[in-house]
Structure 1
């Protein structure tokens, strides 16, 4: 009997390392919502909207104040997230789908491929994909669910997690909310309302908001139509939040919560003029919440500057395979020096790991600046912008200044914009629609004293040195990241000579 008991104990102890095998590498869930602004959740200060699951994640994770996407366009932004490279250097200049057909160079290594190759992760994606080609952004499994129903997405995801057994997993979890839908809602201005408010999703309780109670941000007009559309936008965010709660609770019940790295972010800001497709703050200064393994530094807030090129290097660093990934990326770059922009960046990626921020959110050694780069949204929306942001100033270079700023289809069709176009003063928030449409070549803003970016200081003689210094930094950034649009500087100088 004693021998039998010892055998059982030995067998039990022998099985223990199998469960602990997950601890060799953390499980990873990367949640990327669709067109979600930073101000539109409780943990970022919104007192109206109900986002209990995201707020709970923030209490157990680290919340970032200065997190930026590099381009406020869904497809292009996702290519940056998954490659660690600026999209102007990978060929993924805009939307991948339909007739737009932008895609990443086929030699680029993506996050799921690197996690599979270097750390034996099981990989799966669910919801919005919006990337190309598939061979570059390859996942072992493609899970099927309605992207508007995160309850269903979570159920399918949990089945995948169960199937992984003791192997570490990487789940790319991408709701299609709160992106505007394509449903027509003819109104006073013959435009769409928000359009993704179908109800009756299994497991989801509809949360409705009154237009008079929503929080209208300063960059938007406080109008009837904008309040109505914001109320609908809030509803889609609360719908998204509910299903995520199922996923989080199930991870805790299965004993996987402590060893699962969870990142919540958005691809770009909310789908209203002045945000999505722009380089203004509402379009690119986005939510980022990271729950580290064992809830390290839970509930803290950091002011560290990070952008979406940093995400893949950081995840690879936390897994412990960043040196392998960098070596492989640089080896590929060496064989393609004329095509591959990675040969111009010493560490292989454009982004830099911010692992040290997760280890100490208050004390870190990172630059207090970041860069952004936008070229296309839809193929008909060519409007390149290059941006540098510091803890005080922002400079936007509108490369094709003088041409009208183009509107994405969903934004153009919004009743919010159409109402502004029909208004006597044609104002949109604190900007005239004329200034919004026809932009100066350089837009320089003092973010400390003018957080709404309402006053362009580029032509102010008092800021001549600030402008000059930031232009030089922007040029250096473009050279370092092999930006094809760098040559425009030389072209513009040559044209000035012709004019003289």
Structure 2
């Protein structure tokens, strides 16, 4: 029996949207990439500040999340949450993995690459790794540890993509752009800029920015040093974007574009005081763009709250592994009262796969997420400043656990042209807060993000917000208990 033509069309459309049993995954992680430095998130006077045509193209092909949060604004801890699905206070990656800092996750941790490998995926990483130990974050292949040239990185992925055209794979693609690379006496900011290399970067067509035309983000002082720094920062963002574009081209050339879920995000905020290492919005509210070729969601925006602990359970969900999450657990694991509980057996995030399934699915379930939690303890080993935060659709409560200490400075943030220029200026106002308020913080900070998106007015001691404060604090304490946070003992000991 011949089907009517319209039924053939409908059947073909459904089949085109039906994913394979196990889709491929490409997770692209920018380094210190701020929301203000990405075209599809920021348009000023009809013009984009940073030119990111390839990331913008990904957004048109998929979904741009507007309320996506890194759970901690520090490289290694943030990447550990991405790959483990657990907050860093639980997975053990309290701070940076490299050099004297030497922080390491628990050896027995079962992470995303290992679980996908067990499900038949071939896993590979390229560029910045920055987590430890390797036994906990094991990939089948390490294509290169050099993330300084994103265009070259993309080319190094070609053979891997060709070899895995007919079997599922997970590619973890991590540039070091736009992270500051180091000091250069001739440059106020050194994020691997073109001027650092006599012949530029191999295969890269650099995009240069004139500092005089740039508008300064609200969280930074409007000064020549800041604009000079931004010009080179945006240059490194555009270089990263060019490498991402080449990677997209390779996926298409290998016939992989239409069966690969591509995710772009950043590990933490811009490498300047006021953003990176803080729980303020510029430090933790970051880009998240997802292209799911099996979903009808194209060129859409999602305003639900998600965080980086959601990434592992989401990809495992797509792989059909039904990950156990905190929402399914009724109680924390057993253990003593002094914070010695180990990693949980469940993930701390939730899968947002349902958001993409909701359109055209047989039983569409709207995806809703109105709360995320943040957890920071160290950056460098000398930077002990634990913070625990809860963010809802409207409010954010920050608990500065070690509030009696001055807020510490990362070495690269202290040496930034923006901060050094601010110190030399003798001014006291740095972005939305004074220098003293930035360094000396109260025990609690409560912000109404709807009325006060720049987090200028602390409402923690405002009697009119006592009910909000009490509710959020209770939620934060419960989160610490559920996730085996060793710092929960502070409620008893201090």
Question: Structure 2 CA distance, aligned partners of 1:412 and 1:461?
Answer: 37
Residue in 2 that maps onto 1:177 = 177
Deviations along 1:216-256, one digit per CA (max 9) or x if unpaired, are 11111111111110111000000010011111122122221
Question: Structure 2 CA distance, aligned partners of 1:103 and 1:137?
Answer: 11
Helix, strand or coil for the counterpart of 2:155?
helix
Helix, strand or coil for the counterpart of 1:126?
strand
Residue in 1 that maps onto 2:13 = none
Q: Is the 8 A contact 1:214 1:231 kept in 2?
A: yes
Q: Is the 8 A contact 1:69 1:285 kept in 2?
A: yes
Question: Structure 1 CA distance, aligned partners of 2:451 and 2:457?
Answer: 10
Q: Structure 2 length as normaliser, TM-score? A: 0.89
Q: Is the 8 A contact 2:165 2:256 kept in 1?
A: no
Residue in 2 that maps onto 1:203 = 203
For the pair 1:106 / 2:107, whether they are aligned, the reply is yes
Question: Structure 1 CA distance, aligned partners of 2:68 and 2:365?
Answer: 17
Residue in 2 that maps onto 1:246 = 246
Question: Structure 2 CA distance, aligned partners of 1:90 and 1:72?
Answer: 16
Q: What is the aligned counterpart of 1:353 among 331, 351, 371?
A: 351
Alpha-carbon shift at residue 91 of structure 1 (Å): 1.1
Helix, strand or coil for the counterpart of 1:488?
helix
Deviations along 1:373-397, one digit per CA (max 9) or x if unpaired, are 0000000000000001111111100
Q: CA RMSD in A?
A: 2.3
Residue in 2 that maps onto 1:312 = 312
Deviations along 1:58-113, one digit per CA (max 9) or x if unpaired, are 10011001110100000000000000000101111000110111111111111000
For the pair 1:464 / 2:466, whether they are aligned, the reply is yes
Deviations along 1:402-422, one digit per CA (max 9) or x if unpaired, are 211001110000111111122
Alpha-carbon shift at residue 184 of structure 1 (Å): 2.3
Helix, strand or coil for the counterpart of 2:257?
coil
Helix, strand or coil for the counterpart of 2:217?
coil
**Residues 390-401 of structure 1: pairs in structure 2 closer than 5 A:** 390-401=392-403
Q: Is the 8 A contact 1:84 1:350 kept in 2?
A: yes
Residue in 1 that maps onto 2:5 = none
**Residues 272-311 of structure 1: pairs in structure 2 closer than 5 A:** 272-294=272-294, 296-311=296-311
Helix, strand or coil for the counterpart of 1:30?
strand
Q: What is the aligned counterpart of 2:41 among 39, 44, 50?
A: 44
Q: Is the 8 A contact 1:314 1:354 kept in 2?
A: yes
Deviations along 1:342-386, one digit per CA (max 9) or x if unpaired, are 15xxxx111111111222489734331111000000000000000
Q: Is the 8 A contact 2:390 2:476 kept in 1?
A: yes
**Residues 330-369 of structure 1: pairs in structure 2 closer than 5 A:** 339-343=341-345, 348-360=346-358, 364-369=366-371
**Residues 89-488 of structure 1: pairs in structure 2 closer than 5 A:** 89-117=90-118, 119-144=119-144, 146-185=146-185, 192-197=188-193, 198-199=196-197, 200-294=200-294, 296-323=296-323, 339-343=341-345, 348-360=346-358, 364-488=366-490
Query: Which structure has more helix as a fraction of its residues?
Result: 1
Residue in 2 that maps onto 1:27 = 24
Q: Is the 8 A contact 2:25 2:260 kept in 1?
A: yes
Helix, strand or coil for the counterpart of 1:371?
strand
**Structure 1: unaligned runs, 5 residues or longer:** 1-21, 493-500
Question: Structure 1 CA distance, aligned partners of 2:390 and 2:98?
Answer: 29
Question: Structure 2 CA distance, aligned partners of 1:303 and 1:369?
Answer: 12
> Structure 1 residues 82-91 or 355-364, which shifts more?
355-364
Helix, strand or coil for the counterpart of 2:117?
helix
Helix, strand or coil for the counterpart of 2:137?
coil
Question: Structure 2 CA distance, aligned partners of 1:212 and 1:375?
Answer: 38
Question: Structure 1 CA distance, aligned partners of 2:358 and 2:450?
Answer: 25
**Structure 2: unaligned runs, 5 residues or longer:** 1-18
Structure label with greater radius of gyration: 1
Deviations along 1:133-168, one digit per CA (max 9) or x if unpaired, are 001100011112641211111111121111224111
Alpha-carbon shift at residue 336 of structure 1 (Å): 9.1
Aligned residues: 459
Alpha-carbon shift at residue 272 of structure 1 (Å): 1.1
For the pair 1:491 / 2:493, whether they are aligned, the reply is yes
Alpha-carbon shift at residue 49 of structure 1 (Å): 1.3
> Structure 1 residues 419-428 or 224-233, which shifts more?
419-428
Question: Structure 1 CA distance, aligned partners of 2:408 and 2:249?
Answer: 43
Q: Is the 8 A contact 1:62 1:358 kept in 2?
A: no
Question: Structure 1 CA distance, aligned partners of 2:307 and 2:397?
Answer: 16
Helix, strand or coil for the counterpart of 1:296?
coil
Quickly say closer, same or farther: Cα 1:153–1:232, change in 2 above 3 A.
Answer: same
Q: Is the 8 A contact 1:48 1:213 kept in 2?
A: no
Helix, strand or coil for the counterpart of 1:23?
coil
Alpha-carbon shift at residue 326 of structure 1 (Å): 7.2
Quickly say closer, same or farther: Cα 1:145–1:350, change in 2 above 3 A.
Answer: closer
